[in-house]
Amino acid sequence: MVVPEHEVKGLLAGLGVRVPRGSVVPIVGGDDGLGGLVGAARGLRGPLVLKAYGSGLVHKSDVGAVRLGLGAGGLVTAAREMAARVAAAGLEPGGWLVEEQEAAGAELIVGVVRGPFGPAVLLGHGGVLAETLDQVVVRLHPLGGPDGTASLIAALPGLDALRGARGTDPADLDALAELLAAVDRVPEAVAAAYPGLELDEFECNPVIVGKDGAVAVDARLVLRPSARSDAEAEPTDFGPLFAPRTVAVAGASTGKTTFGNRFLAAYRAFGRTEGLYAVHRSAREVDGVPAVASVADIPGGADYLLVAVPAAATPQLVAGAGQHARFVHVVSGGFGEAGEDRLEQDLLAAARAAGVRLLGPNCLGVYAPSGGQTFQLGVPTEPGTIGVVSQSGGLAGDIAGAGTRRGLRFSALVTIGNAVDVGAGELVEHFAGDPATRVIGMYLEGVGADGERLARAVLRATAAGKPVVALVGGLSRQGARAVASHTGALAGGERMWEALSAASGLTVVRTLEDFLAVLAVFQRHPEAAFDAAAAPRSGVLVVGPGGGASVLAADACDRAGLAVRPLPERAAAPLRARGFGAGTSLANPVEIPLGPATGPDAFARVLKPVLAQTAYADALLHVNVQSFYGYGDGGVAPLLELLGSLGALPANGARIGLVARNLACAPPDDAERVAAACGAAGVPLFRDFDEAATAIAAVQRLHAVARATPIADIDMRATTGCSSRRLGTVRRHDREPPPYTRPFDDPEP
C-alpha cells in the first residue's frame, strides 16, 4: 500500500517535521480536478510546485509527475501536460498536490526501511541522484536519542559539504538532528495510524537543509500487512544437541561407504563408544556399531538422530521419530536449495508433528568436543571457548580444520544448512548464555525471517561481554531485492550489517582468513574490548625488520582505520641510547635488525622502553621467516627461540600479535612448529599485515563502541535493543573534530 504524499506529510508534521505549505485537489469521479487548482493556490506564495499523486506513482520524477517554478496561472496547463505523461506511463493520477517551493539548499535523503534486522534509519546525499551518488549511512532503529542522531550525522560521507565548504553557508545540522529524531519515531507513528499495517519503506527525498533549517519537500510511505509478534518462543534446551547422551545414525550401509558410514567412523575416532547406534532395517551392526531397526528400538530413545538417507525418504523417517528423539539432523540435500520447496515444507511439517527440533536439512551437523559431537576426522577433542554457527557445512569443515592449525579451540561449531527450523538467531542466543563460550562466530549467506531475532541475540552476546564475528556471504548489490523506494535500494545487505555492527560492535569480515584471524585475537583477549576500567589506549606500535615491510604494515593499518602514532621523544631516546636508529627508523614503525643472529630478546629490547613510556593498545610485531633460512644455517631453531620469548614480553597492557612474513618459505613441519610456538606463547599469529590489521581493528572498534555506550546500558527490551553507539571513531583526525563527532580518547598528544 502506497500512502498518498499529503497523508505522509501530515503524519510528519504531527511529529514536528517541517514540510512545505500546500493544498490538495483530489480527483473524484469524472472530475479531473483541474478546476480546483487555481483555488488551491490561493494563499500560497510562489513559486509553486505541482505534483500528481495516486496508486503506482512512487517515483514521480521518472514519469514527469513533478513540476517546479510555477505560478498560479500556469497550474492548469502544467497539470494537463502532466496527466498526459502519466497516462503514457500507464498510470492514472488520483489527485493534485500544490505546494510552495522551498529555497535551494543541500539535498539529503532520509528514510526508514524494514531490513533483515528490523527497522533501520538511513541518511544520505539525496535528490534525483540519490542512488547514483550512493553516499549513505544506515543505523538500526531506535537511534537512542540525541547521541544516536549525532552519531548518524557524524558518519555521513562528505559531511564537510554541509559545513560551508568553498564559501557556502553552513547547513543547520541541529535542525537536521531534530528531523532525524522525528523520523526515528515514524515506525511507531505508522503502527498507531494504520492498525494492522506496518512500515515497509519510508523516505523523504529530498530533505533540503540550509542555514535556516531543514524541510522535507517530498515524502513516500509504503505499508505492508503487519506480521510482527511480540511473543517470545519458549527457549530450547540445546544441551542434548551439543552433548547428546545417545546418538543414532540413519543411512549407514553394510555394503558401501555412505555419509552415514563416514559419520559413524568420525564418532568412533572421536572416542564415542557408548550410546552410538546405527539405524538399519535388517543389520545387527554396521561398521562395528550396534544397529537397530528404528530409533524406537533404542532404550530411552536418542537425543540426537542423524539422518543421511535420500531426501524423499526423510519426512517419513522424521515423522517416525516422535517420542523417540529430541533433535533430528538431516544431512541430506535436495530440498529448497535444489528447488524442492514442497519437500522441504513436508520435512518441517513432519518435525513439527513429531515434536522434534530439526537441524538442516543440507548440513553437516555439530562439532562439540566436550559433548562428544563431531562431523569429521582429525579435529581435536580438546574443548575451547569459541562458538560458531555456519550456514555452510563445507566452510564449517574449513573453520574447524584451518582454525585448529591456527590454535583456535571451539566450545561448539554447528552447521544449519537450509535452517528450516533451528536458525542462527536461536543458536547465537544459546552461545550468549553459555558459560563455556566466550567468543561467537557466524558464517551466513542470508538471515531470512530469523533476522530480528539474530540482531537481538548479537546484542545480548555483546551485553554479556562476548565479542561476535561474522563472515557474511552474498553482500553484492546484485543480490539486493527490488524495492519501491530509493531508501530500500540504498539500504542493501552490506549496509544493514554495518548498522548492526555500529549498534553492537559486531565485526563483519569478507574472507575466511580474516574470520579466523579475528577469532584468534578475541580468543586470546575476549574481555579486552569490554574493560571499561582499563586505562584508555589507542594506536598500534609496529616493530620488525625491513623498512619496506614496515611501510606496508603502516599502509595495512591505515586501510583498517588504525592509528600508527609516532613515538614520543621520551620513548625514542632510550632506543637511541641502546644503539637503535643508525640508518633505521624510530618513528613508528620501528625498524630493527632481526634475523638468525640477533638473539631471542630482539623484540624485548624495543618493547620494554617503548611500552613503559606510551599507552599503545596493540603491538604488531613482524618477522621475515625466509631470512632464517637464507642468512643462517640454524634453520627454524633461532626463530623458535625468538617466538618462545614472546609470552614473557613486557607488554605493559598492550596486546601482542605477530605477522610471520613469508611463512610459505618454511618447510611444512617448520611452519607447524612456528604456529605451535606462537600458540604456546599466547600470541596470535597472522599470515600478512592486512589480516593482522583487520583483527586488531576489530578489538579496538568493539572497545570504542563499548566505551561510547556502556554495555550494561543496553535496553534489551527494544526491538533491536540498542542505545547510541559509535563505530569508526578509532581513526584519528588532524583537523578539529566536527560537532557531531566524539573522538576516541587518546592519552597521547
pLDDT score, position 713? 36
Q: Which among 15-19, 154-158, 679-683 has the top mean pLDDT? A: 15-19
Instruction: Tell me the mean pLDDT in the region 482-487.
Output: 42
Percent share of the chain, pLDDT over 70: 88
Each domain of the chain, given as residue ranges in start order, spans: 21-100, 106-225, 247-475+510-524, 534-704
Angle at CA of residue 435, ends 427 and 682, nearest 5°: 105
Distance in angstroms (rounded) separating the CA atoms of residues 522 and 530: 11
Confidence of residue 628 (pLDDT cuts 50, 70, 90): very high
3-state secondary structure 672-702: HHHHHHHHHHCCCEECCHHHHHHHHHHHHHH
Lowest mean pLDDT among 446-450, 477-481, 603-607, 703-707: 477-481
Confidence of residue 712 (pLDDT cuts 50, 70, 90): very low
Q: Which among 79-93, 184-198, 579-593, 626-640 has the top mean pLDDT? A: 184-198
Instruction: Tell me the mean pLDDT in the region 149-177.
Output: 87
pLDDT score, position 287? 94
Residue 232 has pLDDT above 80, yes or no: no
Amino acid (1-letter code) at residue 483: V
Q: Which of 460, 474, 496 is nearest to 112 (CA)?
A: 496
Neighbours of 310 (CB within 10 A): 10
Lowest mean pLDDT among 417-426, 533-542, 616-625: 533-542
Query: Per-residue pLDDT tens for 362-398?
Result: 999 999 999 999 999 989 999 999 999 999 888 999 9
CB of 580 closer than 8 Å to CB of 503: no
The CATH T-level fold of domain 534-704 is Rossmann fold (3.40.50)
Mean pLDDT for all residues in the chain: 86
Q: Position of cell 524423499?
A: 312
CB of 729 closer than 8 Å to CB of 704: yes
Helix (H), strand (E) at residue 81 = helix 75-88
pLDDT score, position 582? 61
Distances (CA, A) of 578 to 470, 566, 591: 44, 19, 14
Instruction: List Cβ neighbours of 64 (8 Å cut-off, separation of 6 or more).
Output: 81, 82, 85, 86, 89
CATH of region 247-475+510-524: 3.40.50.720
Distance in angstroms (rounded) separating the CA atoms of residues 707 and 661: 34
pLDDT score, position 736? 31
Confidence of residue 579 (pLDDT cuts 50, 70, 90): confident
pLDDT score, position 99? 93
Total-model pTM: 0.86
Domains 21-100 and 106-225 share a fold: no
Residue 417 has pLDDT above 50, yes or no: yes
Confidence of residue 331 (pLDDT cuts 50, 70, 90): very high
Instruction: Tell me the mean pLDDT in the region 112-116.
Output: 89
pLDDT score, position 252? 94
Distance in angstroms (rounded) separating the CA atoms of residues 158 and 604: 43
pLDDT score, position 38? 84
Instruction: List Cβ neighbours of 418 (8 Å cut-off, separation of 6 or more).
Output: 335, 336, 337, 344, 360, 361, 362, 363
Percent share of the chain, pLDDT over 90: 61
Lowest mean pLDDT among 129-143, 257-271, 278-292, 328-342: 129-143
Give Dmax (Cα) for the chain.
Answer: 97
CB of 31 closer than 8 Å to CB of 79: no
DSSP letter, residue 570: H
3-state secondary structure 544-599: ECCHHHHHHHHHHHHHCCCCCCCCCHHHHHHHHHCCCCCCCCECCCEECCCCCCCC
Instruction: List Cβ neighbours of 325 (8 Å cut-off, separation of 6 or more).
Output: 248, 295, 301, 302, 303, 304, 305, 354, 356
Residue 621, Ramachandran bin (φ over 0: left; ψ between -120 and 50: alpha; else beta): beta
Return the CATH architecture of domain 106-225.
2-Layer Sandwich (3.30)
pLDDT score, position 104? 87
Query: Per-residue pLDDT tens for 34-79?
Result: 888 888 889 899 899 999 988 777 778 888 889 999 999 899 999 9
Return the CATH architecture of domain 21-100.
2-Layer Sandwich (3.30)
Q: Which of 420, 610, 598, 398 is nearest to 511 (CA)?
A: 398
Residue 461 has pLDDT above 90, yes or no: yes
pLDDT score, position 476? 56
Q: Which of 419, 245, 272, 428 is nearest to 326 (CA)?
A: 245
Query: Per-residue pLDDT tens for 245-291?
Result: 999 999 999 989 999 999 999 999 999 989 999 999 999 999 999 99
Report CA Rg, the chain.
31
Distance in angstroms (rounded) separating the CA atoms of residues 155 and 138: 9
